[in-house]
């Protein structure tokens, strides 16, 4: 409740032209959005671009935010739309597979980004390995199923919220999740992750 009120205050100030409030709001959600974008795009640079697009669209649409829903849900709806557009555009680009998830995680550009956790190389490697495996698993899914898995398991939205964010019916969301689970049946990497 306190979080929501704080969001509302920051939004109000940001709408009044306060850069500091906008930066505070961005800092509060950028980790969530960046990691979401990372899982959806598998590329740090793409995730960065997508995250910036999401925040730009959020800022532009801020005057139309009515405050009835949680800001997070409203922003993630924008993120879902932007992600769909982004993945569709990237799908049309024949060069996008060049950024495919590599088996050799040491060569992944993600390793060059700052980790929030430990500076211990062994720990760092373990963290990156886990994330790489999760990304590999998600990469096996088509974009629309991946989006549902992301919103359900990683963002913990309800089916109703996911339906609202993706613009599809609840039944379609459930079916997509079930299809995704069936598709992952043949892969055993998930056990390695845990």
Chain residues that interact with another protein, rule: CB under 8 A: 17, 19, 22-23, 26-27, 30-31, 34-35, 38-39, 44, 48, 51-52, 55-56, 59-60, 110, 113-117, 127-128, 130-131, 134, 137, 149, 152-154, 159, 174-175, 177-178, 181-182, 184-185, 190-191, 193-194
The Cα angle at residue 115 between residues 114 and 121, in degrees rounded to 5: 105
- Minimum distance between the CB of residue 92 and another protein, rounded to whole angstroms? 24
Neighbours of 147 (CB within 10 A): 26
- Minimum distance between the CB of residue 19 and another protein, rounded to whole angstroms? 5
- Minimum distance between the CB of residue 94 and another protein, rounded to whole angstroms? 27
* Residues 123, 17: Cα–Cα separation, whole Å: 42
The set of residues, in sequence order, having a beta carbon less than 8 Å from that of 66 and lying 6+ positions away, is: none
CA distances from 105 to 19, 100, 130 (A): 38, 12, 10
Nearer to another protein, 4 or 193 (CB): 193
- Minimum distance between the CB of residue 121 and another protein, rounded to whole angstroms? 15
CB 25 within 8 A of CB 55: no
Nearer to another protein, 68 or 114 (CB): 114
């Amino acid at each position: 409740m306190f979080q929501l009120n704080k969001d509302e205050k920051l939004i109000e100030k940001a709408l009044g032209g306060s850069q500091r409030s906008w930066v505070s709001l961005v800092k509060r959600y950028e980790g969530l959005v960046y990691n979401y974008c990372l899982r959806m795009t598998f590329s740090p640079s793409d995730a960065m671009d997508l995250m910036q697009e999401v925040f730009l669209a959020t800022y532009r649409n801020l005057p139309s935010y009515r405050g009835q829903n949680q800001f997070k849900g409203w922003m993630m709806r924008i993120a879902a739309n932007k992600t769909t557009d982004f993945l569709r555009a990237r799908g049309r680009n024949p060069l996008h597979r060049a950024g495919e998830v590599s088996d050799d995680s040491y060569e992944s550009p993600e390793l060059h980004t700052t980790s929030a956790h430990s500076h211990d190389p062994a720990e760092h490697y373990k963290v990156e390995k886990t994330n790489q495996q999760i990304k590999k698993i998600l990469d096996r899914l088509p974009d629309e199923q991946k989006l549902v898995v992301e919103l359900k398991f990683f963002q913990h939205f309800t089916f109703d919220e996911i339906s609202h964010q993706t613009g599809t019916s609840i039944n379609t969301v459930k079916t997509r999740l079930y299809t995704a689970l069936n598709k992952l049946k043949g892969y055993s990497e998930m056990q390695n992750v845990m």
